[in-house]
A and B are shown apart, each in its own frame.
Chain A
Amino acid sequence: MNNVNTNALIQVRELTKFFPIYRGAIFRRKLGDLRALDGVSFDISRGETLGLVGESGCGKTTTGRTILQLEHPTSGKVFFEGRDITGIGKYEARRLRKHMQIIYQDPFGSLNPRMTVRDIVGEPLLIHELTKGRGEYRDRIDSLLKMVGLNPAMAARYPHEFSGGERQRIGIARALAVNPGFIICDEPVSALDVSIQAQIINLLEEIQEKFGLAYLFIAHDLAVVRHISNRIAVMYLGEIVEIADRKDLYREPMHPYTKALLAAIPIPDPEMEYSREHSMIKGEVPSLFDTPPGCKFHTRCPIMQKICRESRPVLKNMHGNEHMVACHLVI
């Protein structure tokens, strides 16, 4: 996957992240590696939303953190605006934070309970010296709060006085404060009530349009991801198994895992559900520590063949368009 994409804001190439597991306190013996990411590659263009779906342990959160350089990858490269930012030092990383931000899943843990909303949203302004003088500082915070649908009069309150959805809005305001070009949304609506999820999703879409933001939207809910993304990548045990335009992925899923995911998600329509097959794969997700050889999905795959056990499939382009699948059995 080496096509030059001049519009690409983020380029990720063969990203891997292994967490070594040791045993013993003084004489540490290495037991093996937890393979959180095992060769992930994709591009994200300006203004685009790439959805990243997968179940727990697939590595989607690690992907986000590695791109932001909150974790340094074990190998592989990350490019931002054409510049190689892999493994950059602390000071350079700090400057990077003006361009890339992150919104967290937990609306309760991601805000410092001892800081007022004003402090929380204003902190990035202070860190990067984006405003001069108190007046401008306050004005900017107020306008950020208004942008996410919060009353600026609430700025003196503390996080615990707000509901989950409101707290998530505060987190979004904080991420917007530095005027980034790229935001990683790490399961931003998973912890919210259903009726609030839609509010936040709409808000994210609104600000994306307004500011031309690119998103990496990480989630496990395929329906939500489909709604907001342009393209979607499906991950399993640290690898991307399928990546396609959102229409293609749902209309013509090719990888057995993608098909199983789609089948497993219940649709709010009893008639349709009655005639659908639900559970196509059995068994548990293997541990990241002891990943299966060959194709990592082969232990649960309904169409597994001998070759799947032996060699690891590579992401291949199908039909010449942008739809890519990593499976031996898809022609």
Chain B
Amino acid sequence: MLLQVRNLSTYFLADNGVVKAVDDISYDLEEGETLSIVGESGCGKTVSALSLLRLIPDPPGKIVNGKIIFEGRDLLTLSEDEICDIRGNRMAMIFQEPMTSLNPVLTIGHQVMEPLMLHKGMNRKEALKECIELLKGMQIPDARTMVGAYPHQFSGGMRQRVMVSMGLSCNPRLIIADEPTTALDVTIQAELLDLMKKLTRDHFTALIIITHNLGIVARYADKVIVMYAGRIVEKALTRELYRSPLHPYTIGLMESVPRLDQDIKQKLRPIEGQPPDLAYLPSGCSFHPRCRRAMERCRRESPTLREVSDNHEAACWIYE
């Protein structure tokens, strides 16, 4: 097992109380597997990813509990030096905004070579050669000249590819992609994700894709985690999740998204209400104010994640 996350909780201290951005989540990831963490803004998916790499700013945030066992070691017990050794090397992250994630005053080449020289101990000449190979592998045209170019000379799609090259450069075992295509056009998105999927398959790299797009999940992920208000509400293999979603939130999401392949329905069935303010979470099950099937119990007690059918878990009182 490449990655085992156990009871991870990350809280933020704010003026008006504690914000439980991530509250007791656990999941596994094998080598070469693709996991998708789905949820809307504020559900904690990005914070959970940042927690893996211990990139949570402290203060005001703090990983208050849990274990992150990666390649046999609990990342939360490592020293700062040790975790730096893992970041970019064994575990890499690709961020959402290609505009701001690249340093505008350094050349593309410099930025891609940096992890190579830092983690793999290459000298400039070796790193440059490797860098050009990587850029070619990402189908960036004219790689040799592009190495001396600056980020602002590239389009969004190209910049994202550069980021992916940086992520793949040291052949990590796990790549975390945080909403990798939100800022991109659909056609560019498709190309980029296909490319990423192919490369991770070739190198047997595990991939965590964080997204809110149910289509991307269906296309690329082997298994899925659905998050809401900081907790996991459903966990399953992709096909299973789409074939029979269990949690009312998952069902609600699927029903509210217009789909290209379906007959044009008269009206979409949205989930009523708003996602909750994490500082003022509802009592009991966080989803109950918006849930069509809420019961009395849901208001009082918060359900735990439980296996409902083969390898398919859900946190809902309906299935007790």
Contact = CB atoms under 8 A, between A and B. Distances in A.
Interface stretch (B48-56, B271-279, B297-305): B271-279
Contacts of A267: 215, 218-219, 259-261
Highest count of chain B CB atoms <10 Å: which of A194, A205, A222: A194
B189 A270 contact: no
Given A198-B269, A202-B267, A270-B242, A265 B274 contact: no
A278 B219 contact: yes
A279 B194 contact: yes
Contact of A194 (B242, B257, B269): B257
A266 interface: yes
Nearest to A55: B185
A220 interface: yes
Interface stretch (B15-23, B76-84, B248-256): B248-256
Contacts of B268: 198, 201-202, 227
Contact of B186 (A246, A250, A261, A269): A261
A263 B275 CA distance: 31
Q: Is the interface of A mostly helix, strand, loop or mixed?
A: helix
A284 B188 contact: yes
B198 to A, nearest CB: 11
Nearest to B217: A268
Interface string B18-58: 00000000000000000000001100000000000000000
Nearest to B240: A270
B258 A223 contact: yes
B260 A226 contact: yes
A260 B239 contact: no
A206 to B, nearest CB: 9
Interface of A: 55-56, 163, 165-166, 193-199, 201-202, 205, 220, 222-224, 226-227, 246-247, 250, 260-273, 278-279, 281-282, 284-285
Interface of B: 40-41, 139, 155, 157-158, 185-191, 194, 212-219, 238-239, 242, 252-254, 256-261, 264-265, 267-272, 274-275
11 contacts: A55-B185, A194-B213, A194-B253, A194-B257, A198-B257, A199-B272, A201-B268, A226-B258, A270-B219, A278-B219, A279-B187
